[in-house]
Amino acid sequence: MNEGAILAAREGRTKVAQYDLIRSIEKVMLGPERRSHLLSVKEKEITAYHEAGHALVASVLVYADPVHKISIISRGRAAGYTLKLPFEDRKLQSRKEFLDDIAVSLGGYVAEQMTFGDITTGPSNDLQVSTALARDMVTKYGMSEKIGPIALETTAGMPLYGKGAWSEKEYSERVSAEIDAEVSKIINDAMKRAQDVLTKHKKALAGIAKRLVEVETIEREAFEQLLVLHGIVPKKKEEVLPPAVA
């Protein structure tokens, strides 16, 4: 709210609008716009496909949040960004939602690989985020099918289970190997799901990327029109949220 009020005041307005709040969210989450940070023609194309990959996977997978905005205008350290917003606030997150989130995070990586046959440094933060989330699923939330409902680490990352009484050898060699294997499985499965989505909707990927190169920013309404144009039905609130309990 404070950041939104600052943005409104800078433009000489006395009321804070929803537009200001959206811009404030983007600034706080991603950093200020860097319009002086110009991309080359090739970098712009790669970034467009990268963000289109995120957005398309998010739009197809059921438990991912809907896309609110896509941009290839630099913010902070990012060359572009895809902003997703849930239909409503939530305090709990399910395993299915985490798995879809990881697949969405890998959508940019997969889109670059599929389209250009190569990978840039662009997905580096996506890989860090998805790997950290997969590890938390295994070690903190009991969401690993193989390891089961055991908390292996505290919220501070300290080991809780599998640590020898006199040394950390058992944890390092046996439990760590199991954790690594489960994290790799979650990541690889998520990447396969992202590949399936982008392969099936390859024309939509190209169409979104092309439009991004042309206009640099696509808002939700225009994005959903692109989805419909390529035969993809935009998400509706009632399709994602569970029915209310009477």
CB 190 within 8 A of CB 175: no
Q: Which tokens go with 214?
A: 């042309």
9 assigned to some structural domain = no
Catalytic sites, residue numbers:
51
Phi, psi of 67 (to 5 degrees): -80, 130
- Alpha-carbon distance of 95 to 146, in angstroms, equals 14
**2 falls within a domain:** no
Please give the pLDDT value at position 7: 85
Q: Residue 3 domain-assigned?
A: no
- Walk along the chain (246 residues) in steps of 10 and give the mean pLDDT of each run: 89 87 76 68 94 97 94 80 85 93 97 96 93 93 87 69 48 78 96 98 97 94 96 79 47
Burial group, residue 53, by CB count within 10 angstroms (0-12, 13-18, 19+): buried
**Distance between the two ends of the chain, CA-based, in angstroms?**
34
Inside any domain, residue 151: yes
**pLDDT by residue (tens digit) across 182-231?**
999 999 999 999 999 999 999 999 999 999 999 999 999 999 999 999 99
Tell me, yes or no, whether 49 lies in a domain: yes
Q: How far is CA 1 from CA 18, 24, 33, 86, 91, in A?
A: 10, 8, 19, 19, 21
**Would residue 76 count as lying in a domain?**
yes
Predicted confidence at residue 174, as pLDDT, reads: 77
Rounded distance between C-alpha atoms, residue 50 and residue 198, angstroms: 11
Q: Would you say residue 66 lies in a domain?
A: yes
- Tell me if 65 is assigned to some domain: yes
Number of domains in the chain: 1
Q: Indicate which CATH number applies to the domain containing 155.
A: 1.20.58.760
Give the range of the structural domain holding residue 62, as residue numbers without chain letter: 16-240
Instruction: Please give the model's pTM, rounded to 2 decimal places.
Output: 0.83
